[in-house]
A and B are shown apart, each in its own frame.
Chain A
Amino acid sequence: MSSETKKKWPLWEVFIRSRQGLSHKHAGSLHAADAEMALENARDVYTRRNEGESLWVVEAVHIVASSPGDKSTYFDPANDKVYRHPTFYKLPDEVKHM
């Protein structure tokens, strides 16, 4: 068992497109020896009730994530730019729709 535990199956993240027209959404994760097995297991575990029409599996180590510790400073620059939102611009009442 010890030689086996050294070679653990990698972790894969599973993304499902629930129907055409929507983007893939993260559903969960699983372990599999290779991509083919990851796809098959994802189908068997995450789409038993017609949850999807398309699957992506990505080895978890390949996902690059922003650091949650820096959340406030990292996303700060967006905070003071209210002019990026349409509601920033006041229109005359005569303009019904824009």
Chain B
Amino acid sequence: MNSTLFDAYVADEKKIEPKDWMPDAYRKTLVRQISQHAHSEVVGMLPEANWISRAPSLKRKAILMAKVQDEAGHGLYLYSAAETLGVERDDLYLDLLEGKAKYSSIFNYPTQNWADIGAIGWLVDGAAIMNQVPLCKCSYGPYARAMVRVCKEESFHQRQGFQIMLVMTEGSAEQKAMAQDAMNRWWWPALMMFGPPDGDSPNSAQSMKWNIKRFSNDELRQKFVDMTVPQAELIGLTVPDADLKWNEQTGHYDFGEIDWSEFKRVIKGGGPCNVERLAACNKAWNDGAWVRQAATAYAEKKSSNATR
């Protein structure tokens, strides 16, 4: 196998498995993408965990805990997929803790009230699904298989979020205002989740050639807008975009300019919660150190007793 044969092989919709030959750049791209994806799942637990203890009912609390538990699982599936490429999970995670690794910039925004939990499920998980469904057919087998599991579980996340928003928009004027306020704050960051515009996304072309990526950032963003706007209308929420308009000719919604300077600022660490998120991850890691050490010591003692 060489690069040319490899390119033809994946272009033919064939799958690559862990020990197969692959170009270094393919391996590197996957490690970067899968680990960033895993970090996003892990950091993504934090904005939601903020509301577990303050969920409005026992039912909502149980649902939110199940969702946050799912996110931890998604992180694990993805770290496992990354490890098949010859990297260690702990090394990847230490990169996150030291601020060397990226994760989705959406999780650097705060969850100010309960409606934000609805908006995250509906919009953020909705955008994530849009990104993730095509990854189920990614050329790298372990990543594709992990994504199948993730997508199955994400669907519940999006529906529970939409349902929170639906209930709030049917509630009191204050509750409806909260839902609209959450929509106003999460709409644009959700659109940014698809990444920079195609013209400004240098790695996209190669990833599409390798069948890692199936649709461009702008294509997925457009699909998300087309899908979500009617849902917002259905529950009486206004999309915070004065330029949003149905385009009869293209059969799509036209929408306003995204503030890419904000996107870049948040990715570089200037978002409202970047510092807080990393501090929370570091605290959890350090607070859990004794548990990891105790489990290791216990396992060693047990195995040495067994061989005696």
Taking Cβ atoms with an 8 Å cutoff, the residues of A that contact B are 1, 4-5, 7-9, 11, 28-31, 33-34, 37, 44-46, 48-49, 65, 67-69
Contacts and interface: CB of A to CB of B under 8 A. Distances in A.
A75 B289 CA distance: 47
A72 to B, nearest CB: 11
Nearest to A34: B299
A89 B21 CA distance: 39
A80 B308 CA distance: 52
Interface string B66-103: 10011011001100100100001110000000000000
Contacts of B146: 28
Interface string B288-308: 010011011011001100000
Contact of A68 (B17, B292, B302): B17
Question: Which of A31, A44, A67, A69 has the most CB atoms of chain B within a 10 A radius of its CB?
Answer: A31
A59 to B, nearest CB: 11
B248 interface: no
A4 B292 contact: yes
A56 B122 CA distance: 36
21 contacts: A1-B289, A4-B296, A5-B90, A8-B88, A9-B296, A28-B149, A29-B80, A31-B89, A33-B292, A33-B299, A34-B295, A34-B298, A37-B295, A44-B73, A45-B72, A46-B73, A48-B73, A49-B153, A65-B19, A67-B19, A68-B20
Nearest to A10: B299
Query: Secondary structure at chain A's binding surface: helix, strand, loop or mixed?
Result: mixed
Nearest to B20: A68
A34 B303 contact: yes
Contacts of A5: 90
Contacts of A69: 19, 21
Interface in B125-154: 145-146, 149, 152-153
Given A31-B89, A33-B299, A49-B152, 14 more contacts: A4-B292, A9-B296, A11-B83, A28-B80, A28-B146, A28-B149, A30-B76, A30-B80, A33-B292, A34-B295, A34-B299, A46-B73, A48-B73, A65-B19
Given A33-B299, A65-B19, A4 B69 contact: no
Interface in B44-85: 66, 69-70, 72-73, 76-77, 80, 83
A33 B293 CA distance: 9
B18 to A, nearest CB: 8
A65 B17 CA distance: 13
Contacts of B76: 28, 30, 45
A68 B77 contact: no
A68 B141 CA distance: 14
A45 B73 contact: yes
Contacts of A68: 17, 19-21
Contacts of B153: 49
A77 B201 CA distance: 47
Contacts of B295: 9, 33-34, 37
A28 B299 contact: no
Nearest to A35: B299
Contacts of B73: 44-46, 48
Interface string B163-185: 00000000000000000000000
Contacts of A30: 76, 80
B80 A34 contact: no
Contacts of A48: 66, 69-70, 73
A34 B298 CA distance: 9
Nearest to B294: A33
Contacts of B298: 33-34
A16 to B, nearest CB: 11
List of 10 A-B pairs having minimum Cβ-Cβ separation, nearest first: A34-B299, A33-B295, A33-B299, A29-B80, A68-B19, A45-B73, A68-B20, A7-B296, A33-B296, A28-B80
